[in-house]
Structure 1
Amino acid sequence: MLLLNQVVEYCYSDYQTNKNTCFCAASCGMDCNSCLEKIHFYKASRHYDCRSMINYYVCKYVYRQASEMAVLLRNLPWHQFPYPLRVLSLGCGSCSELYAFLYHRNQLGRCAGLQYVGVDRNYLWQPVHRMIVYKADKYDLELAFKYGDILSLLRTKTKSMAGGHFKPNVLVMQYLLSDMARVMPPDDL
């Protein structure tokens, strides 16, 4: 089973187990779809602040987001890229780009490992990230997740899985820029 499917299965199971216990501070009536729509389309100041909402988000969006990234990757000149790929993902959330990189690497028949460091400000993604780390060995994948402000993390020279300094050769900001545009005043961008 693909890692992507395992993550969705985990999130679906956790959502089903906890769907009657809303974790968010808002009175949402336990309607995660409504909460996501408010965040995505109505410029709500709220973020992904509920475990149930995060699980629902993964189940609803991750296949689409991973496919979008896979289409992009298919059109890049991969023969020019150094291996192993060392991916730094800012605002990694559900890690949809990770699944696209794994898929693309397999399509190319590459045996080279993949290093991935995901950075997110939101600690509520930790259960999803722990599940990914738990399954990583089966995919020749080295993983690390960091939580906090990216500038602070870069100042401390984020350590790689191998103990040296992690020097990415791929930077992903898949939804970071659109999220910034949603929450920041135009003059601050």
Structure 2
Amino acid sequence: MICTAKYSSPLGKILLASDEIGLTGLWFYEQKYFAKNLDPLHEEKENETIKKTKSWLDEYFKGKEPTVKVPLHLIGTDFQLMVWKILQTIPFGKFMTYGDIAAIIAKEKGIKQMSAQAVGGAVGHNPISIIIPCHRVIGSNKSLTGYAGGLDKKLKLLTLEKTDIKSPYFQKY
């Protein structure tokens, strides 16, 4: 059974979804791909995963790197899962570019190159934003591009993590 709950964040309302394995979705209301693939047979109810997710978000929105471990249940293509796994390695307050992720995948697959645009498509379909930090992926010229929740939220999330991409001291991961 899929359980859902709402969370009020400083950036707007968030919908959480979880099954018996882990968190399956975390979306800002009105974001692109909102609740995509959410089973229509879901129940508004807080299970243990949703409680942990709310605790994680409470810590995060206080500007702290969360210590709560949230179990995840990612559902996607092999390529999407590969991209989302890389996103989870980007530390709090750091960033990667789409090209960086493409290069990692190319190396893992033993191929010459991978399309940064294909990576962007997978990043954009990330169903668990913030916890899987797709907001930490930026353009090769340090531009803020491509965030399903909106570029205003992406900038606020990076700012919350004290990640100033305009600074010459901005540390790339």
**Is the pair's TM-score, using the shorter chain for normalization, greater than 0.5?**
no
Larger Rg: 1
Structure with greater strand share of residues: 2
**By percentage of residues, which structure has more helix?**
1
